[in-house]
Amino acid sequence: MNDKILVVDDEHDIADLIEVYLQNENYVVYKFYSAKDALACIETKDLDLAILDIMMPEVNGFSLCQKIRAQYTFPVIMLTAKDEEIDKITGLTLGADDYITKPFRPLELLARVKAQLRRYKKYNSTKEETNTGSILSYSGLELNTKTHECLLNEKAISLTPTEFSILRILLERKGTVVSAEELFHEIWKDQYYSKSNNTITVHIRHLREKIGDTSDEPKYIKTIWGVGYKI
């Protein structure tokens, strides 16, 4: 079955271009020029990924991302016309998995889409397994890599697939420093990383909030400045 992708952008030329490139890769595309029109599609179609423009009239991409995250875990990629950190940070904090700045190279967008879909399929396939599987743990924090459950002092913690992947890598390499670049390449499987890319930083911050951790006095995730992160 072909993956179903939602594309929402009020710039018709951009939305149409994305649709053409995705259809050339045999994806099923649901294209809309407004967030309001896309809401019914989100609720009625079994989507695998969404590409959302941030700057849209009436309902913007941030609001649409929030509505998606309230019910669904499929990946969300945000499009922003401005190379501003606040837009990127806001999108990631609201639950987006990745972002790309306009103007973008269509092939780069396709690479991001494929990376997110690979990770999402892996997440869902292991989540559906019924056997107990491997348990990664540290100081009351437990991660089941088969059922994709996270417990903190026996209390369930809801993580996005990206947050789960980051925590899994850090727990697997417990005691070892893992750089942001290593995390990025292992999770997204592509080469589009630069020192100015703060995607990992924002996901780490969001993850810390969920497990009650802080960067100043970390109990779980410690920042090794200029190097990376470790548990």
Task: Determine the pLDDT at residue 122.
Answer: 72
130 — pLDDT class (breaks 50, 70, 90): very low
**In whole angstroms, what is the distance from residue 231 CA to residue 7 CA?**
37
pLDDT of 192 above 80: no
Domains and CATH numbers, the chain: 4-118 (3.40.50.2300), 129-230 (1.10.10.10)
pLDDT of 141 above 60: yes
For residues 181-189, give the mean pLDDT.
Answer: 82
Are residues 120 and 53 in contact, defined by beta-carbon separation less than 8 angstroms? Answer: no
Bridge partners for 152 per DSSP: 141, 155
Residue holding tokens 């029109």? 37
Q: Which two tokens stand for residue 195?
A: 């020192």
Nearest residue to 224 (alpha-carbon basis) of 170, 188, 164: 170
**In whole angstroms, what is the distance from residue 116 CA to residue 188 CA?**
7
Nearby residues of 126 by Cβ (< 8 Å), 6 or more positions away: 133, 145, 146, 147, 148
For residues 145-170, give the mean pLDDT.
Answer: 87
Task: Determine the pLDDT at residue 190.
Answer: 62
> What is the chain's mean pLDDT, rounded?
85
199 — pLDDT class (breaks 50, 70, 90): confident
Q: Is the pTM of this model over 0.75?
A: no
For residues 153-157, give the mean pLDDT.
Answer: 89
What is the percentage of the chain residues whose pLDDT exceeds 70? 88
User: Residue 114's CB: how many other CB atoms inside 10 A?
Assistant: 17
Residue holding tokens 């802080």? 214
167 — pLDDT class (breaks 50, 70, 90): very high
Q: Which two tokens stand for residue 109?
A: 């967008």
Task: Determine the pLDDT at residue 131.
Answer: 44
Are residues 172 and 136 in contact, defined by beta-carbon separation less than 8 angstroms? Answer: yes
pLDDT of 86 above 90: no
Instruction: Note the pLDDT tens digit of each residue in 22-40.
Output: 999 999 999 999 998 898 8
230 — pLDDT class (breaks 50, 70, 90): very high
